[in-house]
Each structure stands twice: as C-alpha cells, then as structure tokens.
A and B are shown apart, each in its own frame.
Chain A
Amino acid sequence: MRIIARAVAVAVAGLLVAALPATAQTDVGGSVPSYMELRLDEPEGFASFPAGAGEHELSIRTRVTSTTSSARLSAVDGDLVAGSRLGRLASGASVLDEPLEARVGSTAFQPLDATIDPLLVEFGRPVANERATIRLRQRINAGERPRGTYTKTLLITLSSNAP
C-alpha cells in the first residue's frame, strides 16, 4: 500500500511540474509596424462565352490582413483608367455591351466601368486572414453574339480607408 501511495505521489508531482507554468515575471514589449496583406485565388473563366443571352458568374476568394483601423476591398480595371472600354471585356475590336460587375456577400452588383473604385467590403477594424469572396458577373444581352476569347486584368485592391 505504501509503495502504491508513493508511486501515485510521484506521478502527481510529475503532472504538477509539467502542468503548472513558471511564475517568473518579465516585461515583454516591442513595436509592431503597420502591415497590409492581400491573398488571392486565381479564378478560371470568362475566356469565352456560350452563344445566347444570359448571366455568367465566377468568384474570386480573397484573404485580407490589415493592422489599420479601417480598410476597404475593391475591384478595378487593371488595363485602363478611363474610356469606353473601361471595365468591359474585349476580344480584339469586339467589346461586350455590359460592363463586368462585382459584389461581396449579398450587396448589389456594382459595375466596374465607373471612374470611382466600387467599394465591395469595408473592414472597420484590424483584421487577420479575413475571408471575402468577390462574385463577378458578366451579362450578355439578347442579340449580342460574343466571339473569340476575352481577357481582362482586374486589380483587387486593398486600401487604407482613412488618409
């Protein structure tokens, strides 16, 4: 009995030593510089469209890290900053009638042919690896006959929301 009691005491002592944290105190400090990071998944699609009117959608998954108190995510045309082709898919001289549109969550789709960057989502606090899925939509009008392959560079923008 005495042997068992001693063994249990040793085991308990071992557990206590392993489980209890050290109680020494020290000051830990440092300066962390502000930081922004954007991660994107490469989407597949919109190279060509089936004949006939309709709506075509694809999504871009993003992850955002920002230490600023307010940041915003938007999508803008990366090939142009102005003009009639702004925000529109083009195949050579052929340009689609409707602009590309984007949204995050259940908000309304916003056209990408505006001169002001459309706000897709706002982060009113610092965020780490926050997920946001951007939905892109391309509408093909009745009577429109898309031909060939289309290309467009989209700038997914993570921006400070305060100057």
Chain B
Amino acid sequence: MYRSKLVLGAAIVAGLAATQIASAEAPSATAAKAAQGGLSITPAILETTARSGASRSATVTNSTSRKLRVTVRARPWRQSSSGAVAANRRRSLGAVGLSTSRFTLAAGAQRVIGVTLKRVPSRRSQYGALDVVAKPARKRRGINVAYRLVSSLRFNPTAGARRLRLRAGSARVKGRGSRRALLLKVRNRGNTIDPVGGSVSISGSGGGRSGTIGSVRILPGKVVNVRLASLRGLRKGTYRASVTLTQARRNRLSVTRTFRIR
C-alpha cells in the first residue's frame, strides 16, 4: 500500500511538471483577443509583369467591431528627394482598373479587390499605390478617425522591355557635425524600380573612407538624393568621391565627384 502510494505520488509530480512545461508554451488566449481590431490589407505589395489585362488581387479585412465605408483607388506615387513616397490623393492611375472601388465592410468581414492593368503604358511598366480609405459609417461631433492603408502596385516590364539606366548629377554635403553626409543626385532613366546601391570611396587632405551605399528604389523618371556616406570625423578640406552605382546586381554607372567640407 505504502509502495503504491509513493509511486502514485511520484507520477503526479511528473505529470504536474509536464503540465507546467506545456502551459508555458501555449499561446495566451487573452493576448490573442487583445491583438484583434483594425483594418488590414494583404498582400501589401502587388507585383506582376506589365501585360495588358495582367491582374492581381488584394484582400481588405475589417477586424473592428464597427461597419466601415471603404473607398479604394489606384494612385500615382509622389517621390521626395529623400526617396520617400506618398500616394498622390489628387490623381488616379487611369491605366489600372479595380473590380470594386466603393463598398461597405461589416464588422469582421473581408473583401477581395481585383487590380488589373488595362493597358501597358509607353514606358512598359507601371508603378503606383493602392489607396484604401475606411471611414466609420456614422460620423460623430469632434474628431473622427478613419483608416487609410497605402500599399504598392508594381507592374514590372517584361524581360525584353526592361531598361536599366541611371544618370548621376551633382554631389553635395548635407547636415552638420555627426549628421553630416554626402549625397548624390541620381535620376532613374530606366523603367524599373530595382534598388539602386553601390559603393563609394572618398579620399582627400583631411582623410578618407570607403563603404557601401544603402539601396534605394527610385521611380522611373524621378531624381533622388542618394546618401553615399557619412562624413563624420572628416576634417575641413577638399575631397574626391569615386562612386559606383549598381542596379539589379550589375554595375551601371561609375562617376567621380569633388566636394568640400567647410
């Protein structure tokens, strides 16, 4: 009797330990519940080859507890000289068609939006934004917040129509002290948004350095100030920067620029 009680006790201890290990790895139901509620879109990047009639779809989900009025538009990007983009709310992309552009989404509901390239532009590619705005069905006094998700549309050129061309402009020094950096104006004269990167080597009377250039996507036809390197620690003087720009893993352009740190 004593022996069987002892064995049973040991088994309970082992069982409890096993339960403890299992519960430590189980997801918390409370945390999962708290993680609900909002507006989502997937995929956030719609990408395909630019052919007439080429299409992709995105799913918009309302996980809030309210009914939302949704408006969807395909819009062109505006790109700043820093490379950041924002959807241009004043314009629409005429070459891109949407299966639906206005609908009501009940709480917990989702809707699939078809996106089609109606015609291929002369550039042989089309880039833009899918602008999804969801407003509460009932407006209150005061501030009303609404959701806006802006995802990417990429209709890339076919392999045969692909053009990779870059043009480098002037270099300039921006910022002061530890935030001082060397920038190079780069225009994308091609028709893709393959990231532009590369390497830079700086030499001059006050020292030198070399490094890689952080990649940036430049819209076709746009100019972006590409950050070449930090100039932190370099003394006043005249310097030479030898820059090699790459796109789609190939050397596209090599330029040399002279600049001065005052």
Nearest A-chain residue to B90, judged by Cβ: A81
Residues of B within 8 A of A18 (CB): 14-15, 17-18, 21
The size class of the interface chain A forms with chain B is 35 or more
B42 and A35 contacting across the interface, CB-CB below 8 Å: yes
Per a CB cutoff under 8 Å, which of A13, A122, A151, A154 touches B139? Answer: A151
Q: Does A78 contact B (CB under 8 A)?
A: yes
Interface string of A31-66 (1 = CB under 8 A from B): 001111111101111111000000000101001011
Residues of B within 8 A of A108 (CB): none
Complex: A13 Cα to B18 Cα, angstroms: 11
- Given the known A-B contacts A11-B13, A81-B89, are A3 and B135 also in contact in the complex, defined by CB atoms under 8 Å? no
B150 and A159 contacting across the interface, CB-CB below 8 Å: yes
Interface string of A97-136 (1 = CB under 8 A from B): 0000000000000000000110100100000010000001
Interface string of A74-100 (1 = CB under 8 A from B): 101010011000000000000000000
B44 and A19 contacting across the interface, CB-CB below 8 Å: no
Residues of B within 8 A of A14 (CB): 10-11, 13-15, 17-18
CB distance from B215 to the nearest CB of A (A): 10
B44 and A163 contacting across the interface, CB-CB below 8 Å: no
Q: Does B219 contact A (CB under 8 A)?
A: yes
B35 and A129 contacting across the interface, CB-CB below 8 Å: yes
Q: Which of B33-74 contact A (CB under 8 A)?
A: 35, 37-45
Q: Does B85 contact A (CB under 8 A)?
A: yes
Nearest B-chain residue to A150, judged by Cβ: B142
Q: Does A15 contact B (CB under 8 A)?
A: yes
Nearest B-chain residue to A14, judged by Cβ: B14
- Given the known A-B contacts A34-B44, A81-B89, A163-B127, are A153 and B14 also in contact in the complex, defined by CB atoms under 8 Å? no
Residues of A within 8 A of B135 (CB): 78, 153
A155 and B146 contacting across the interface, CB-CB below 8 Å: yes
Q: Does B152 contact A (CB under 8 A)?
A: yes
Q: Does B118 contact A (CB under 8 A)?
A: no
Nearest B-chain residue to A9, judged by Cβ: B10
- Given the known A-B contacts A37-B38, A72-B84, A163-B85, are A158 and B141 also in contact in the complex, defined by CB atoms under 8 Å? no
Can you name 15 A-B pairs with beta carbons within 8 Å? Answer: A8-B10, A10-B10, A14-B13, A18-B15, A34-B43, A38-B40, A58-B143, A67-B44, A72-B84, A78-B146, A78-B148, A82-B90, A157-B149, A159-B86, A163-B127
Known interface pairs A15-B17, A43-B145, A154-B146; 12 further A-B residue pairs with C-beta atoms within 8 A, sorted by A's residue number? A7-B6, A11-B14, A18-B18, A35-B41, A38-B39, A46-B142, A68-B45, A78-B148, A156-B147, A158-B149, A160-B129, A163-B127
